[in-house]
């Protein structure tokens, strides 16, 4: 009975007033070319930017590694580790971009859509660990470069002592990781928790019905 009343009310629902209505005819083209996902959910551009940056860094690293290999330089182990990390980062980000498949994401059934969104956000949060690791390598290189100008002795000591280098690298990586954990990551964590809560809520409701 209640549903019947609601149906009557629904059928006699007034049209949205012209003032409040989104313009359909002339603006339709503009409406449909815009990206429907909000910035927080749409990570495509960020992933692409990272892939481009990592590719450039990978090429630079490969050139450096080659020259060090030929001249039997002191930084080979560091460059090999950096090459491995960059290669994995590239693989991880390209895989995530293909997995997200943004053009078809919204055509999935709700639960699969939310599940995919959850996985993408989860993996994107994980990707900040790689960013921390990489920043360790590059900040260490920056420190070495600055020391070579200011204090030749310190630079020589650091260049020939792998222990110091790796300790500084780990320290910087952990520090950057902590910084990211308290600055950028909470926003994505909150989003992930929101998606997860919604998905679990709707599944629970459907099972209780």
Partner 1 sequence: MNNSSKKGGFDVDIRSLLKIQHKKVYAICRLFADTYKEHQFLFTNIMAAASQNIRGRRENSDKQTLVLRACINMAALHSITMDMAPVVERSIQFKSPDYQRSMTRLRQSMGEASDYEKFRLFLELEKMPVEELTHLTGLPHSKNASGKKKEKEAELSKTSFNFIPYLKRQLVWN
Q: Name the residues that contact partner 1, by CB under 8 A.
A: 2-3, 5-7, 9-10, 13-14, 16-17, 19-22, 24, 28-29, 31-38, 41, 99, 103-104, 106-115, 119, 123, 190-191, 194-195, 197-198, 201-203, 205-207, 209
DSSP three-state, residue 101: coil
Residue closer to partner 1 (CB basis): 101 or 156: 101
- To partner 1, the closest distance from the beta carbon of 23 in angstroms equals 10
Query: How many CB atoms within 10 Å of residue 122?
Result: 15
- To partner 1, the closest distance from the beta carbon of 116 in angstroms equals 8
- To partner 1, the closest distance from the beta carbon of 176 in angstroms equals 24
Residue closer to partner 1 (CB basis): 116 or 155: 116
The CA-based dihedral angle spanning residues 154, 157, 161, 163, taken in that order and rounded to the nearest 10 degrees: -40
Q: What is the C-alpha R_g of the chain? A: 26
Candidates 94, 60, 92, 53; CA nearest to 79 is: 60
Using alpha carbons, list the distances in angstroms from residue 29 to 25, 32, 52, 90, 104.
8, 5, 31, 36, 19
Residue closer to partner 1 (CB basis): 38 or 71: 38
- To partner 1, the closest distance from the beta carbon of 79 in angstroms equals 28
Residue closer to partner 1 (CB basis): 101 or 162: 101
């Amino acid at each position: 009975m209640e549903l019947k009343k609601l149906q009557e009310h629904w059928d006699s629902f007034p049209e949205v007033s012209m003032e409040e209505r989104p313009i359909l005819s002339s603006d339709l083209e503009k409406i449909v070319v815009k990206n429907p996902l909000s910035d927080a959910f749409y990570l495509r551009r960020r992933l692409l930017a990272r892939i481009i940056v990592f590719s450039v860094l990978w090429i630079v690293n490969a050139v450096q590694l080659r020259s060090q290999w030929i001249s039997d330089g002191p930084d080979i182990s560091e460059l090999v580790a950096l090459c491995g990390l960059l290669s994995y980062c590239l693989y991880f980000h390209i895989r995530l971009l293909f997995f997200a498949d943004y053009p078809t994401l919204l055509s999935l059934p709700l639960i699969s859509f939310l599940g995919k969104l959850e996985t993408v956000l989860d993996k994107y949060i994980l990707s900040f660990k790689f960013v921390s690791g990489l920043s360790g390598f590059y900040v260490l290189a920056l420190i070495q470069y600055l020391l070579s100008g200011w204090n030749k002795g310190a630079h020589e000591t650091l260049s020939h002592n792998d222990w110091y280098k790796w300790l500084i690298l780990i320290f910087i990586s952990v520090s950057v990781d902590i910084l990211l954990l308290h600055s950028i990551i909470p926003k994505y964590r909150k989003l992930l928790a929101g998606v997860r809560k919604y998905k679990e809520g709707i599944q629970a409701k459907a099972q209780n019905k």
